[in-house]
């Protein structure tokens, strides 16, 4: 599938087109972010956010620009926002405020009531997860309940790691929508 065709199909919400675009540009975006963040985890998180935002806003993409440039711009803006947020939180917290917060930390060991509530919430969460399509259930189960790394999930599902990352992101988004509808 050619780039133009993949973009047009992605605009029609075609999952295969999303995967093609992700596979084609993941290394470029991740590499760009590694240079900016100098941290693999941050680069990976921002890259996932970049593709998620790009796929959500793909209708705004204009063909007069290169798709890679558009993605890099999104990645750069997400990174800038994260840096600003970190700087603001650091600037707003003086040493005395920090000391006071540390001294205010209380023992939060769960009471028997807390344990019952947590078990009920877990049961509700598991019911909500079961409302997802099976491939989303699988990726959530492997990541959060079996605590697999992205690489282990990729190997288990025999899918590229980039697909696993976006699939997990999509699964979390769909799960959040299910939970919000119930509130």
| Concatenated DSSP letters of the chain | --HHHHHHHHHTT-HHHHHHHHHHHHHHHHHHHHHHH--HHHHHHHHHHHHHHHHHTGGG--TTS-HHHHHHHHHHHHHHHHHHHHHHHHHT--HHHHHHHHHT----PPPHHHHHHHHHHHHHHHHHHTTS-HHHHHHHIIIIIS---HHHHHHHHTS-HHHHHHHHHHHHHHHHHHHHHH-
Task: Look at residue 161 in the predicted model and tell me its pLDDT.
Answer: 81
One domain for residues 80 and 118: no
Task: Look at residue 99 in the predicted model and tell me its pLDDT.
Answer: 62
One domain for residues 84 and 120: no
Task: Look at residue 181 in the predicted model and tell me its pLDDT.
Answer: 85
Task: Decide if 71 is inside a domain.
Answer: yes
Report the domain count for the chain.
2
One domain for residues 114 and 170: yes
- What domain range includes position 55? 3-91
Task: Decide if 101 is inside a domain.
Answer: no
Task: Look at residue 24 in the predicted model and tell me its pLDDT.
Answer: 93
pTM over 0.75: no
Task: Look at residue 105 in the predicted model and tell me its pLDDT.
Answer: 59
One domain for residues 61 and 114: no
Task: Look at residue 106 in the predicted model and tell me its pLDDT.
Answer: 55
One domain for residues 43 and 120: no
Task: Look at residue 96 in the predicted model and tell me its pLDDT.
Answer: 61
One domain for residues 121 and 85: no
One domain for residues 121 and 177: yes
Task: Decide if 136 is inside a domain.
Answer: yes
Task: Decide if 52 is inside a domain.
Answer: yes
Task: Look at residue 156 in the predicted model and tell me its pLDDT.
Answer: 94
Task: Decide if 97 is inside a domain.
Answer: no
Task: Look at residue 77 in the predicted model and tell me its pLDDT.
Answer: 95
Task: Decide if 75 is inside a domain.
Answer: yes
Residue numbers of the chain with a pLDDT score lower than 50:
none
Final residue of a structural domain among 61, 91, 121: 91
One domain for residues 85 and 120: no
């Amino acid at each position: 599938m050619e780039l133009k065709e993949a973009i047009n199909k992605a605009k029609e919400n075609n999952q295969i087109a999303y995967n093609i675009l992700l596979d084609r540009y993941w290394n470029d975006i991740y590499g760009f972010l590694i240079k900016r963040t100098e941290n693999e985890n941050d680069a990976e998180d921002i890259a996932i956010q970049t593709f998620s935002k790009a796929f959500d806003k793909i209708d705004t993409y204009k063909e007069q620009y290169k798709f890679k440039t558009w993605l890099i711009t999104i990645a750069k803006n997400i990174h800038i926002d994260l840096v600003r947020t970190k700087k603001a939180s650091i600037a707003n917290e003086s040493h005395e405020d920090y000391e006071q917060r540390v001294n205010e930390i209380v023992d939060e060991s769960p009471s028997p009531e807390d344990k019952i509530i947590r078990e009920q919430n877990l049961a509700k969460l598991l019911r909500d997860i079961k409302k997802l399509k099976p491939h989303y259930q699988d990726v959530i189960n492997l990541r959060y309940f079996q605590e697999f790394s992205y690489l282990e999930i990729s190997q288990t599902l025999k899918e590229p790691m980039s697909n696993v990352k976006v699939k997990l992101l999509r699964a979390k988004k769909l799960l959040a929508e299910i939970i919000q509808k119930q509130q």
